[in-house]
Amino acid sequence: MAYSEYWNPKNETLPREELQALQLLKLRRLCEWAYATTPFHQRKFDAAGFKAEQLKTLDDIRRIPIMTREEWMESIMEKPMFGDLLATDVTNAVRYHLTSGTSGRTPIRVLDSMKDWDWISEMWCYGLWGFGVRPEDTVYFAFGYGSFIGFWGAHYCCEKIGSLVIPGGAQTTEGRVKQIVEMGATTVCSTPTYALTLWQKAREMGIDLAKDSKVNKLICSGEPAGSIPAVKRQLEETWGAKCGDTAGMTEVGTIMIFECSHQPGGTHIIEDHFIEEVLRPDSDEPVGYGELGERVVTSFGRGFIPAIRYRSKDMVMKIPASTCTCGRTWDIYDGGIRGRWDDMKLIRGTNVYPRAVEAIIREYVAVDEFQIYIWRKEELLDEITIKLEMTPGYEAHWPDLQQKLAKDLAEAHEGLRFNIERMNYGTLPRFELKAKRLVDARPVAAYA
Which residue ranges make up the site for Zn ion (CB under 5 A)?
A: 260, 262, 324, 326
CA distance 138 to 405: 39
**Could you tell me the smallest distance in angstroms from the CB atom of residue 270 to Zn ion?**
12
CA distance 357 to 66: 31
**Could you tell me the smallest distance in angstroms from the CB atom of residue 142 to Zn ion?**
26
Cross-strand bridge partners of residue 276: 297
- Residue number with CB closer to Zn ion (103 or 323): 323
Surface-to-core class of residue 216, CB atoms within 10 Å of its CB (0-12 exposed, 13-18 middle, 19+ buried): middle
- 446 in helix, strand or coil? helix
**Could you tell me the smallest distance in angstroms from the CB atom of residue 325 to Zn ion?**
7
**Could you tell me the smallest distance in angstroms from the CB atom of residue 408 to Zn ion?**
31
**Could you tell me the smallest distance in angstroms from the CB atom of residue 318 to Zn ion?**
14
CB 226 within 8 A of CB 336: yes
- Residue number with CB closer to Zn ion (228 or 260): 260
**Could you tell me the smallest distance in angstroms from the CB atom of residue 362 to Zn ion?**
24
**Could you tell me the smallest distance in angstroms from the CB atom of residue 296 to Zn ion?**
23
CB 120 within 8 A of CB 190: no
- Residue number with CB closer to Zn ion (238 or 329): 329
Buried-exposed string 166-175: b where 16+ CB fall within 10 A, e elsewhere = bebeeeebee
- Residue number with CB closer to Zn ion (224 or 266): 266
- Residue number with CB closer to Zn ion (244 or 354): 244
Buried-exposed string 341-365: b where 16+ CB fall within 10 A, e elsewhere = bebebebeeeebbbbbbbbbbbbbe
- Residue number with CB closer to Zn ion (95 or 262): 262
CA distance 139 to 128: 10
**Could you tell me the smallest distance in angstroms from the CB atom of residue 321 to Zn ion?**
8
- Residue number with CB closer to Zn ion (266 or 354): 266
Q: Please report how the helices 152-161 and 114-130 are oriented relative to each other, as an axis angle in degrees rounded to 10.
A: 70
Distances in Å between the alpha carbon of 100 and those of 78, 111, 147, 228?
21, 15, 8, 22
Q: Which amino acid is at 293?
A: G
- Residue number with CB closer to Zn ion (173 or 329): 329
CA distance 185 to 180: 5
**Could you tell me the smallest distance in angstroms from the CB atom of residue 259 to Zn ion?**
8
**Could you tell me the smallest distance in angstroms from the CB atom of residue 263 to Zn ion?**
8
- Residue number with CB closer to Zn ion (325 or 351): 325
Buried-exposed string 81-107: b where 16+ CB fall within 10 A, e elsewhere = ebbebbbbeeebbebebebbeeeeeeb
- Residue number with CB closer to Zn ion (178 or 262): 262
